[in-house]
């Protein structure tokens, strides 16, 4: 799993690449937790290069969403591959998360959330 952090004003972007599974989920969780601990409450996770997500990956995303919502923040997802989107659909997570086809749209909507 590779994690690239980008700054987009009020929003931080985490671009993930690889498999989001039991082996890599802790690394992703640490990255998200680190951003939140630094005071960032608007995060976009770009999943364009994620070819697989397991229940461990879903857990990390859900935990981050819950924590950010308690802080009046937002977690948006962008660029899900069809297989990854199907996993979110089956788990019922597409109704919980703001999911966008393009990273730029996710950033714009995430930045506007809570204003």
Domains along the chain with CATH numbers: 2-112 (3.30.750.24)
Cα separations in angstroms, 34 against 28, 31, 51, 87: 10, 5, 24, 26
In sign, the C-alpha dihedral spanning 22, 25, 30, 36 is: negative
What is the pLDDT, as a whole number, of residue 36? Answer: 97
| Percentage, residues of the chain above pLDDT 70 | 98
Per-residue model confidence (pLDDT) at position 40: 96
Residues near 55 by beta carbon (within 8 Å), at least 6 away in sequence: none
Whose structure tokens read 């297989």? 83
Sheet of 11-20: strand order equals: 2-8, 11-20, 42-53, 74-78, 98-100
- The confidence score (pLDDT) of residue 90 equals 96
Mean pLDDT value of segment 93-104: 96
Tell me what the mean pLDDT of segment 12-30 comes to.
97
Confidence of residue 115 (pLDDT cuts 50, 70, 90): low
Q: What is the mean pLDDT of residues 24-40?
A: 97
The one-character DSSP state at 107 is H
pLDDT interval class at 114 (50, 70, 90): low
Residue 35 has pLDDT above 70, yes or no: yes
DSSP for residue 105: H
Please, what is the average pLDDT of the chain? 96
Contact 27, 3 (CB under 8 A): yes
pLDDT attached to residue 113:
81
């Amino acid at each position: 799993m590779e994690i690239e952090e980008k700054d987009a004003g009020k929003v931080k972007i985490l671009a993930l690449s690889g498999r989001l599974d039991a082996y890599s989920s802790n690394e992703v969780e640490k990255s998200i937790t680190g951003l939140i601990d630094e005071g960032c409450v608007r995060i976009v996770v770009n999943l364009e290069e994620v070819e697989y997500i397991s229940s461990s990956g879903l857990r990390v995303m859900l935990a981050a969403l819950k924590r950010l919502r308690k802080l009046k923040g937002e977690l948006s997802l962008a660029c899900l591959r069809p297989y990854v989107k199907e996993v979110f659909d089956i788990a019922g997570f597409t109704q919980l998360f703001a999911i966008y086809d393009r990273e730029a749209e996710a950033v714009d909507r995430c930045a506007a959330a809570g204003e």
